[in-house]
Amino acid sequence: MHKEKRKILLSWFVVLLGSGGLIWMSLERWMGEEGEVFPSRVINIICPYSAGGGTDLFARSLARTAEAELDQTIMVQNITGGGGAVGFASGLIAPADGYTVTAVTFELVSLPIQGLVPFEPNDFDLLLRVNQDPGALAVRADTPLDSLEEFVAWARERGGVSIGNSGPGSVWHLAAALMADRLNIPVTFVPFNGSAPAITALVGGHVDAVVVGPGELLPQVEAGLVKILAVMSEERLSFVPDTPTFEELGYDVVFGTWRGLAVPRGVPEAAREKLTFAFREAMESEDFIEMARRGALNLSYADAARFRDDVQTQSADVEQLMERLGLK
Amino acid sequence: MRVDFTLSLLPPGIFLATTAVALWQSATFPKAAGGVPGPALVPMILAVVLGLASLALVTGALQRRNLSGKSENLKSRPEDTAKASVPWRRLGMLLAAIVLYLVVMPWMGFISSTTVFIAVSLFCFDYRKGIHNWAFAILAAYILYALFALLMNVPLPVGWLG
Amino acid sequence: MDFSNFTEAFQLLADPMVFLFLICGVLLGVIVGALPGLSATLAVALLIPFTFDLSLMPALAMLIGVYAGAVYGGSVPAILFRTPGTPASAATVFDGYALTQKGESQRALSVAAFFAMVGGLIGTVILILLAPQIANIALRFGPPEYCALALFGLSMIVAVSGESLLKSAGVAIFGLLLATVGMDPITGYPRLLFGSVSLMEGIPFIPALIGLFALAEVFRSIGNTEQIAQRSSGKFAWPMRSDMIRGSWTGIRSGLIGTGVGSTPGSGSDIAAFMAYGIAKQRAKPGDTFGHGDIKGIAAPEAAKTGSISGSMVPLLSLGIPGDAVTAVLIGAFILHGIQPGPLLFEQHGPLAYSILATVLVAHIVVFLVAILGTRFLVRIVACDRKLLLASITILALLGAYALRNNIVDVWVAISFGVLGYILEHQQYPVAPLLLALILGPMAEENFRRSLILSDGSYLVFLTHPISAIILTLSVLSLIFSVIRRQKPRNG
């Protein structure tokens, strides 16, 4: 009997303590809303891709270094699905108070053009661009093709090459299409579910070539399994300094993906500036640069204005390409 | 017996409905390009095969009903009757609680709505020990919050009450 | 193979810090694996920033520990509550939960742990001895072979599931049709979406798993909340000798199957576990009681699951290509710690490469020991009031479905599949083919269409490629065999 009573008392205690905690938490939140200097609580970065991927690593490393600048915890949340669409959409509907930042990527441009999502790049206020990765054309190392010229000649002679890419309408599909157009070679596009399976198929000899990010190819290049023939950047890349660009070789192929940060429209100017400054500083920290070097992340800063211009130019290009590919 | 028969038509019914939707939708998909099949090919094939399979299943169920109709007065197996008795009321209650919980959570907040939901679900499972229910519920809600939101970094909604 | 490297490797491993982090990793992995919706991939990814502050070996030990722990952890709730924590452990449900119902959950858990270790050790030994050779075979798997492999896995499970082949096949085709929901893998055309953005990548199969097993079990139990008394030996639950012998051949075979399946990039432990279970059941002898608590029915999926861990390390270590989602994340971790996985790993970082292999080996043994020590406590959970347990399973299932992608739509998916699973099982339709069809459907279709692109639309490609022709023939044979086997009892 006595034991039973104690149990009931204990239960009451737990319930009261628990509900007290709830009330205290909500009171604190209501009190804390006004008159605070940004940032006064945890900042979230929405990463629209799954944990462990390139964009996730980029967001997490940046968050780690920017925490010191902002003197606040920064959490990365992976809200994935729809090739990034779900994450972008939840970044847009988040309150425009600067506490939710979205990691934006090339897909912000391509998804709306494909007609798959109900938003457009202009719904975001872009903060800064951190990285730009060009496309890279790679073939198996044991093929006798050593230059882009030989590749073009070989492709024309055979009447076609199969080129693997990371998915229908993905940045590397479009890059391959742009390249095929400018090089004037017949191509069979073979979409895979991401870059890694495409590279695997290349190594296994199931496709003739791939167009993917150079960082993703690095392990295989170093292992001597594949070779990169050319990259789609304006200048040569630091980690493959001997590989020419398409431009050097006389083809106007400059294309690639990028990563940056954005907030929904309507975030107060002061908060936006503070965030931009903090992430800009983080980008220049030694830790982050070292991380980027190891992950073969090609750093390329652009401020909000330049970032927006670039995105708009790219939008027009992508729209044309998609139309030609029948993806629109 | 009658309820039993209706229930046995449920799975093939679901299959047939899916078939119909798939056929109706995949007819609108873009056509094949360059000799290589387009997006409609695989759903079309599967829908047709599924349609045939579900018709076969319906026929099977009808045959079994006719057979058992003749031998209805023979002994019915006890395990059949045990399986047939569905606790409709409690099942409905639990499902309603789940749906309500999902709708209310973003507005009310995770911890408070989870507490209420666990308490209600305990009630559905016929666990009725007054304050114990609530103590278990509130404790579980806090533990889950700690585990998922704090440890595993899962964003859980915060409403007007925690 | 230079074995002198191993002495050095084990010296690296002898560091107590390495051991400590390995054990921490295993414990975390078991918990994460046991909770539906939280996956090894997520745990490894979350740990990567944390391991920045560690030196290399402890970091790798922890990550490998998480991986091995999570693969075992999924089976704990599968055996105890019929609610698998990972898709791979759904295959352990059939016989594992049957033993729990007989009050022998302790036996089931320890046998599962033992065969998980057996499979892991077999896989690791193969990894050490034959990695480059296996990697070369795995590379020969192109689109037609993957398509054939997916169909084979599915036909295996259709062949052994349920009492009626028609029901089993119907469920599988239904699952394949559901698997076509989402963006077409080849043209990107949105199919059967009705405007949903969340399902663009297809119906997520972890929420489907949670619905089909965990929620359906809750719905089923609602009218029957009786306690299942569990026998407990009190002391350490060492697996019984007779059980070890009984499952030995199945375990070894399944470990090999798991290693093989895991080594082909893109097919992981879930496919391996179901395939091994299917093969074991097809080869059942008259005395076997598959589905009613046969030890072989636990040995097969468990050994295959852990075998596939080592299998997925094959392309990782020898080619620098991820074998599955977890190893994809591991590659990222390696690179951030300044190591480039690939064929050069053994040349450039010999001792390190071998100590990774040694860590994998030790990790399997640590998982086994942790599991055996933990069994006593785990069995006590079953002794809790079943009503409290059911309420806990319900909320964990809902949260797990959400936590996977932090998307509320996934919870609705789980609920729908819960109702569907309840209806199907009520009418004696097996649900395993539905789950496997959701996992394998996209793989089959994607590679089917890709093969046709590469062959310019010729369907002969599946027969002219020898590996795919062989696998397809085996699939057809397994279905025919199944029809014959099902008819036998009626005639005899």
Specify the CATH number for the domain of residue A141.
Answer: 3.40.190.10
**Phi, then psi, of A262 in degrees rounded to 5:** -150, 160
Chain A residues with beta carbon closer than 8 angstroms to that of B138:
14-15, 18-19
Question: How high does pLDDT run on average in chain C?
Answer: 88
Which of C403, C411, C449 minimises the CB distance to B37? C449
Q: What CA–CA distance (Å, rounded) separates C158 from C174?
A: 12
Q: Which of C398, C413, C420, C447 has the alpha carbon at shortest distance from C199?
A: C413
Find how far residue B68's CA is from the centre of its chain.
29
Q: What percent of chain C has pLDDT over 70?
A: 96
Banded pLDDT at C461 (limits 50, 70, 90): very high
Q: What CA–CA distance (Å, rounded) separates C60 from C62?
A: 5
In this complex, the chains that touch A, judged by 3 or more CB pairs closer than 8 A, are B, C
Q: pLDDT at residue B77 above 50?
A: no
Give me the pLDDT at residue C44, please: 81
Find how far residue A300's CA is from the centre of its chain.
13
Tens of pLDDT, residue by residue, chain A (328 residues): 577 888 888 889 888 998 888 888 888 777 765 556 788 778 889 999 877 677 888 888 898 889 888 888 888 888 877 788 888 988 998 888 888 999 999 999 998 998 878 888 999 999 999 999 999 999 999 999 999 999 999 999 999 999 999 888 889 999 999 999 999 999 999 999 888 889 999 999 999 999 999 888 888 888 889 999 999 999 998 888 999 999 999 999 999 999 999 999 989 999 999 999 999 999 999 888 988 888 788 899 999 999 999 999 999 989 988 888 777 6
Q: What CA–CA distance (Å, rounded) separates C332 from A308?
A: 30
User: Which chain C residue has the Cα nearest residue B61?
Assistant: C427
Q: What CA–CA distance (Å, rounded) separates A295 from A53?
A: 11
Which of A77, A167, A169 minimises the CB distance to C406? A77
**Which CATH number goes with the domain that contains A299?**
3.40.190.150
pLDDT tens track for C257-277: 999 999 998 788 899 999 999
Q: Which of A199, A201, A195 has the alpha carbon at shortest distance from A220?
A: A199
C290 in Cβ contact with A222 (< 8 Å): no
Residue of C402 and A26 predicted with greater confidence: C402
Please name the residues between 391 and 430 in chain C that touch chain A, using a CB distance below 8 Å: 405-407
Q: What percent of chain C has pLDDT over 90?
A: 53
Asked if A65 and A197 sit in the same domain, the reply is no
Question: Under DSSP, is residue A78 helix (H, G, I), strand (E, B) or coil?
Answer: strand
Which of B134, B139, B162 minimises the CB distance to A25? B162
Banded pLDDT at C233 (limits 50, 70, 90): low
Residue type present at position C273: A
User: Which chain C residue has the Cα nearest residue B53?
Assistant: C170
Q: What CA–CA distance (Å, rounded) separates A221 from A217?
A: 6
Asked if A141 and A225 sit in the same domain, the reply is yes
- Is C411 close to B102, i.e. CB distance below 8 A? yes
User: Which chain C residue has the Cα nearest residue B46?
Assistant: C177
Give me the pLDDT at residue C110, please: 93
Residue corresponding to tokens 């998307």: C407
C91 in Cβ contact with C302 (< 8 Å): no
- Is C453 close to B140, i.e. CB distance below 8 A? no
Å between A196 CA and nearest CA of chain C: 7
Residue A237 lies in a domain: no
Asked if A126 and A149 sit in the same domain, the reply is no
Asked if A223 and A168 sit in the same domain, the reply is yes
**Lowest model confidence (mean pLDDT) among A195-209, B93-107, C28-42, C263-277:** C28-42
* Token duo for residue A60: 């997490």
In this complex, the chains that touch C, judged by 3 or more CB pairs closer than 8 A, are A, B
Chain B residues with beta carbon closer than 8 angstroms to that of C462:
none
Handedness of CA B96, B102, B108, B112 (dihedral sign): positive
> What is the pLDDT averaged over residues C217-240?
77
HEC readout, C182-230: EECCCCCCEECCCCCCCCCCCCCHHHHHHHHHHHHHHHHHCCCCCCCCC
Sequence ranges of the domains in chain B: 2-84, 88-151
Asked if A119 and A164 sit in the same domain, the reply is no
Residue A7 lies in a domain: no
Asked if A128 and A267 sit in the same domain, the reply is yes
Asked if A223 and A142 sit in the same domain, the reply is yes
- Residue A39 preceded by cis peptide, ω within 30: yes
Burial (CB < 10 A; 0-12, 13-18, 19+), residue A174, is buried
Q: pLDDT at residue B25 above 70?
A: yes
Asked if A122 and A182 sit in the same domain, the reply is no
Q: What CA–CA distance (Å, rounded) separates C350 from C2?
A: 10
Length of chain A in terms of residues written: 328
Residue A38 lies in a domain: no
- Is C427 close to B148, i.e. CB distance below 8 A? no
Asked if A76 and A124 sit in the same domain, the reply is yes
B141 shares contact with chain A (CB less than 8 Å): yes
Q: What CA–CA distance (Å, rounded) separates C88 from C270?
A: 4
- Is A89 close to C197, i.e. CB distance below 8 A? yes
Residue A96 lies in a domain: yes
For residue A309, how many other CB atoms are within 10 A of its CB? 11
Give me the pLDDT at residue C488, please: 64
Which of A89, A190, A295 minimises the CB distance to C336? A295
Asked if A177 and A321 sit in the same domain, the reply is no
Residue A5 lies in a domain: no
Mutate to test the interface with A, among C51, C327, C335 (most CBs of A within 10 A): C335
- Is C391 close to B152, i.e. CB distance below 8 A? no
pLDDT tens track for C294-341: 999 999 999 999 999 999 988 888 888 887 878 887 887 787 777 777
Å between B6 CA and nearest CA of chain A: 38
User: Which chain C residue has the Cα nearest residue A162?
Assistant: C454
Give me the pLDDT at residue C232, please: 67
Residue A103 lies in a domain: yes
- Is C191 close to B86, i.e. CB distance below 8 A? no
Which of C187, C388, C452 minimises the CB distance to B39? C187
**Beta-carbon contacts of residue B120 (< 8 Å; ≥ 6 apart):** B97
Give me the pLDDT at residue C346, please: 75
Burial (CB < 10 A; 0-12, 13-18, 19+), residue A26, is middle
A22 shares contact with chain B (CB less than 8 Å): yes
Which of A10, A26, A326 minimises the CB distance to B162? A26
Q: Which of B33, B47, B31 has the alpha carbon at shortest distance from C457?
A: B33
Q: Where in the sequence is the domain holding C312, given as residue range(s)? A: 4-491
Q: Where in the sequence is the domain holding A205, given as residue range(s)? A: 136-231
**How many structural domains compose chain C?**
1
A81 in Cβ contact with A60 (< 8 Å): no
A117 in Cβ contact with A81 (< 8 Å): no
Please name the residues between 30 and 59 in chain A that touch chain B, using a CB distance below 8 Å: 44
**How many structural domains compose chain A?**
2
Which of B8, B34, B127 minimises the CB distance to C427? B8
Residue A137 bridge partners (DSSP): A211, A230
Mutate to test the interface with C, among B59, B104, B125 (most CBs of C within 10 A): B125
Considering A231, A248, A268, which residue would you say is the last residue of a domain?
Answer: A231
**Beta-carbon contacts of residue A29 (< 8 Å; ≥ 6 apart):** B158
